[in-house]
Structure 1
Amino acid sequence: MLSRLLRTPVLLLAVCGWHLAQAQTAVVIGGNLRFDNDEVWQRIVDEAGGAGKARVAVLATASAAPEQSANAIVQVLQKHGASAEHIPVAPRLEGADLQKNLNDPALIAKIRGANAVFFSGGAQGLIVDTFQPGGKNTAMLDAIWDVYRRGGVVAGTSAGAAIMSRTMFRDALDVMGVMRGQMRDGHEIDRGLGFVTDRLFVDQHFLKRGRIGRMLPLMMAQGYRLGLGIEENSAAVIRGPSVDIIGARGALLVDLRSARTDPSLTMFNVQDARLSYLDNGDHYDLRSGQVTPEKRKTPLPEARIIRASHAVTSPVSTFQTDILGDNRIVQAMAELMTAPSGEVRAMAARVRPGATEPRDRTAFVFRLYRGEGTQGWFNSQGDADDITLLDVRLDVRPVPVPLAAPPRLAANNLTPVQQAPDGPGGSPSDTAATPR
């Protein structure tokens, strides 16, 4: 049973009093959802009643090209058996009267008559500003909530995923900026629409864009103890306490139940955060805190995992120069599973040319290490990247960057000693004008 079912340390439900509906379903998609990802599209339709019964209202409110985006979504949903319709409520919809359509009783009735609502990608601020201006629900948002509360589906990709939590990143493409303390209400962060339980924070484009660096500071600042960062072309299907990971890759589960900070450090820092990587086919139960890896996966032998009770005396065997690069956090977690030293260290050290302020020249050391409960699964008959990694420990602490060069860590300390250029994927791609 232990090879198939593991109790993770996330036991928040009994402690915090989770309130979870038993029927309503949120399909949180990490962005860049391909139209040939049949698993995710079909799951939306199935959760909404299946082929011939699913009625989906499509909202491209966040999109820069709403009509084009909505039409493509409608077509792919119809291909999978749904009856889908574009509800034309979008600030950037050419020739449309936004306020008239937003308050149109006929359009509101169409949403209320649906059993699923799909939010497209784009700019998440447009969704919140349109449906909840000044923090007050519009009649159309009330209709969406009616669909959800009676057991319907709310699905969203990219921007449509960002609005699922009670708090969201509004415009925080600079991950390092957030780590260095730039997290202003109404700018980097804002209120979300809160479709998932208010004790869970979700983020998107997560592994591709190294967004572990922005999730941790937000969770700590906002009092979250559980976060789920969903990768592109992948989804988390949250139905009551049940979370299924589906699609091309997976999601990172962040648990801060045991986390603490060092108050003597003036910048962001954390000790004893817990990370778990859940891949396609894995299941997580919010109520029990149990993870069930996909049935084809085999556990790594426990003899290969060094436990916290054993002293780690060998030098650090693995060091990465850019933990915020594409998928680097999961790569580091995977390397950790068999690292002789029992730990892996990495840096987040992107410094813009000409930066002179101490805050702008701060880097962060990521130390990943094994502890009691750390475990890994792999698919011995399939893709080598098809893995499940549970309960990896993480400490993060700030270090100053010398004016002359970005830092590189010595093996056994946290002192920046010499220059280490960004590795592959190390360019600050989060500043690009791409869907959030």
Structure 2
Amino acid sequence: MKPVASSIRRLCVAFLACIAVVGVQAANASPAASRAAVPAPQGTLVIIGGGLRADNAEVWQRIVKLSGGKGARIAVFGAASINPEKSAQGVIAKLTQYGADAFFVPIGVKLAGSDYRQAAENPTIVADIRSASGIYFAGGDQSRITQALVREDGNRTAALEAVWAVYRGGGVIAGSSAGAAIMSTTMFYDAKPVLDMLKLGVTDGREIAPGLGFIGGDVFVDQHLLVRGRFARMIPVMLKKGYQIGLGIDENSAMVVSANRDVEIIGYSGALLIDLSRAITDRGVKGFNISNAAISYLDRGDKFNLVSRTFYPSPDKADNKLDPNQPDMREPVFTNDILGNNAVLDLMGNLIDNAQQEAIGIAFGNPRDPYPDLGFEFRFSKTVNSVGYSSTEAEAYSVLKLRLDIRPIQLQQPLYRYK
């Protein structure tokens, strides 16, 4: 019997040794490796372009409904603000108005009387976050969010892990403005004006920095899009970081991204979808340039699946696909300020229902800008893949797959008046 007992003891020791080795390996594994096996999140994103009005019931109610309906606990982060608690309380009042049980998360670089690093590891605060079914990130400076929730070594704080736990478990993560910027793996950090981004380029750690990546590593997100002409600054970032798909959402509007990666546009306006999968640049041309990018406008009520790349028009457009042989307009389409308020949307709508096959927009700065004589031409063209839908209820279009080419142009300086 002794040999048998001895064998059993040896097996037990070996088994325990294996467990110890596995434990050490798990402890030493990189955070990226340890997260690689985690199941895909089952929750929903509500990405708001900023400027969300209190009376935009469609967006507020959707956040509450997705979080569980009346009484849903929603954790509100004001970390992006210079006054986190005041910012959060404004959001809490609106969520409460629409039926939620919202509460303030006391984590913020600018939160008076608090050490944000300790707060982000505080078990009580972490437990409160985990108890929520929805998370809301208010606007401000997105770098303050990542500073508060990401450790100096790049790992997630306990608070950020709690946010991810809510999302993985089927909860909602909503964010407006800065709260939208953090949704992709890359976010704008200390961004220059849009035109200067094209003139001077993009630098990691300066204009851009790592975001929190809730939408995944394959989609770039931007906000305040149509009002501020920011579609043009998305493209150089996407090229630099290797994104093929970019989504930019306008103010007082939201993109609802489900677990199966359906994107639905709700609210006041819409979003631009930029596809660089077939785009090319000419290194022989001095200055930023791109050819064969595809740009689409998704209007409120429209849906788009990020996996299948399938578009579904809103109900008021479903039976009103435009006939390219019967255009409503024939006039040339041109704007001398393509980066102006809603200029790109107006141009795309006027082109898709037009006998003209292309439209031109240009962008120049003022004489005090860097390289004042350098500007850019934005050429939008219809192709065999371009499609438009018109609403039967309002003067609104959905525009799919216009070709976009951008090239540098020069304006003679100084300018002279006619006498």
* TM-score grouping bracket, smaller chain normalisation: 0.7 to 0.9
In the TM superposition, what is the alpha-carbon distance from 1:237 to its structure 2 partner?
A: 0.5
Match of 1:330 in 2: 345
Which amino acid is the alignment partner of residue 392 of structure 1? L
Match of 1:387 in 2: 397
Which amino acid is the alignment partner of residue 299 of structure 1? K
In the TM superposition, what is the alpha-carbon distance from 1:140 to its structure 2 partner?
A: 0.9
Picking from 195, 200, 206, the partner of 2:219 is 200
Which digits, 9 at most, give the CA deviation of each residue in 1:315-354, with x for residues without a partner? 992221010000111111111123333110010111342x
Cα RMSD of the aligned pairs, angstroms, is 2.1
Taking structure 1 as reference, are residues 304 and 264 closer, same or farther at Cα in structure 2, changes over 3 Å only?
Answer: farther
Match of 1:253 in 2: 273
- 1:284 partnered with 2:304: yes
Task: Please state whether the residue corresponding to 1:302 is helix, strand or coil.
Answer: coil
Match of 1:367 in 2: 379
- 1:65 partnered with 2:87: no
In the TM superposition, what is the alpha-carbon distance from 1:253 to its structure 2 partner?
A: 0.6
In structure 2, C-alpha distance between the alignment counterparts of 1:375 and 1:305, rounded to whole Å: 12
Native 8 Å contact 2:324 2:353 kept in 1: no
Match of 2:139 in 1: 121
Which digits, 9 at most, give the CA deviation of each residue in 1:221-275, with x for residues without a partner? 1110000010000000001221110000010011111111111013111111111
- 1:146 partnered with 2:158: no
Native 8 Å contact 1:22 1:239 kept in 2: no
Match of 1:9 in 2: none
Picking from 117, 125, 132, the partner of 1:99 is 117
Which amino acid is the alignment partner of residue 114 of structure 1? A
Taking structure 1 as reference, are residues 186 and 22 closer, same or farther at Cα in structure 2, changes over 3 Å only?
Answer: closer
Native 8 Å contact 1:87 1:107 kept in 2: yes
Picking from 63, 81, 90, the partner of 1:44 is 63
In structure 2, C-alpha distance between the alignment counterparts of 1:34 and 1:20, rounded to whole Å: 35
Which amino acid is the alignment partner of residue 178 of structure 2? A
In structure 1, C-alpha distance between the alignment counterparts of 2:115 and 2:146, rounded to whole Å: 18
In the TM superposition, what is the alpha-carbon distance from 1:31 to its structure 2 partner?
A: 0.4
**Quick check: 220-229 or 370-379, which moved more?**
370-379
Which amino acid is the alignment partner of residue 375 of structure 2? A
In structure 1, C-alpha distance between the alignment counterparts of 2:299 and 2:367, rounded to whole Å: 34
Task: Please state whether the residue corresponding to 1:245 is helix, strand or coil.
Answer: strand
Native 8 Å contact 1:334 1:389 kept in 2: yes
Q: How does 1:7-406 map to 2 (within 5 A)?
A: 21=40, 23-52=42-71, 54-134=72-152, 135-240=154-259, 241-297=261-317, 298-304=320-326, 317-353=332-368, 359=371, 361-380=373-392, 382-384=393-395, 386-405=396-415
Native 8 Å contact 1:345 1:367 kept in 2: yes
Which digits, 9 at most, give the CA deviation of each residue in 1:115-172, with x for residues without a partner? 1111000000101111114322111111111111111111100000000000011121
- Give the gaps of 5 or more residues in structure 1: 1-18, 307-314, 406-417, 420-436
- Give the gaps of 5 or more residues in structure 2: 1-37
Native 8 Å contact 1:316 1:343 kept in 2: no
Which digits, 9 at most, give the CA deviation of each residue in 1:275-308, with x for residues without a partner? 11111111111222111111112221232369xx
Task: Please state whether the residue corresponding to 1:208 is helix, strand or coil.
Answer: helix
Task: Please state whether the residue corresponding to 1:301 is helix, strand or coil.
Answer: coil
In structure 2, C-alpha distance between the alignment counterparts of 1:173 and 1:25, rounded to whole Å: 31
In structure 2, C-alpha distance between the alignment counterparts of 1:321 and 1:61, rounded to whole Å: 39
Pair member with larger Rg: 2
In the TM superposition, what is the alpha-carbon distance from 1:361 to its structure 2 partner?
A: 3.2
Taking structure 1 as reference, are residues 304 and 258 closer, same or farther at Cα in structure 2, changes over 3 Å only?
Answer: farther
In structure 2, C-alpha distance between the alignment counterparts of 1:215 and 1:117, rounded to whole Å: 26
Task: Please state whether the residue corresponding to 1:213 is helix, strand or coil.
Answer: helix
Match of 2:9 in 1: none
In the TM superposition, what is the alpha-carbon distance from 1:360 to its structure 2 partner?
A: 5.1
Native 8 Å contact 2:109 2:147 kept in 1: no
Taking structure 1 as reference, are residues 319 and 122 closer, same or farther at Cα in structure 2, changes over 3 Å only?
Answer: same
Task: Please state whether the residue corresponding to 1:161 is helix, strand or coil.
Answer: helix
User: Which protein has the bigger helix share?
Assistant: 2
**Quick check: 114-123 or 125-134, which moved more?**
125-134
In structure 1, C-alpha distance between the alignment counterparts of 2:379 and 2:305, rounded to whole Å: 27
In structure 2, C-alpha distance between the alignment counterparts of 1:229 and 1:208, rounded to whole Å: 11
Native 8 Å contact 2:364 2:372 kept in 1: no
In the TM superposition, what is the alpha-carbon distance from 1:34 to its structure 2 partner?
A: 0.7
Query: Which stretches of structure 1, 4 residues or longer, exceed 6 Å deviation after superposition?
Result: none
Which amino acid is the alignment partner of residue 163 of structure 2? I
In structure 1, C-alpha distance between the alignment counterparts of 2:379 and 2:173, rounded to whole Å: 37
Match of 2:7 in 1: none
Match of 2:21 in 1: none
Match of 2:26 in 1: none
Match of 1:429 in 2: none
Which digits, 9 at most, give the CA deviation of each residue in 1:405-433, with x for residues without a partner? 3xxxxxxxxxxxx99xxxxxxxxxxxxxx
In the TM superposition, what is the alpha-carbon distance from 1:182 to its structure 2 partner?
A: 3.3
Task: Please state whether the residue corresponding to 1:364 is helix, strand or coil.
Answer: strand
**Quick check: 213-222 or 133-142, which moved more?**
133-142
In the TM superposition, what is the alpha-carbon distance from 1:20 to its structure 2 partner?
A: 9.2
User: What is the TM-score when the length of structure 2 is the normalising length?
Assistant: 0.85
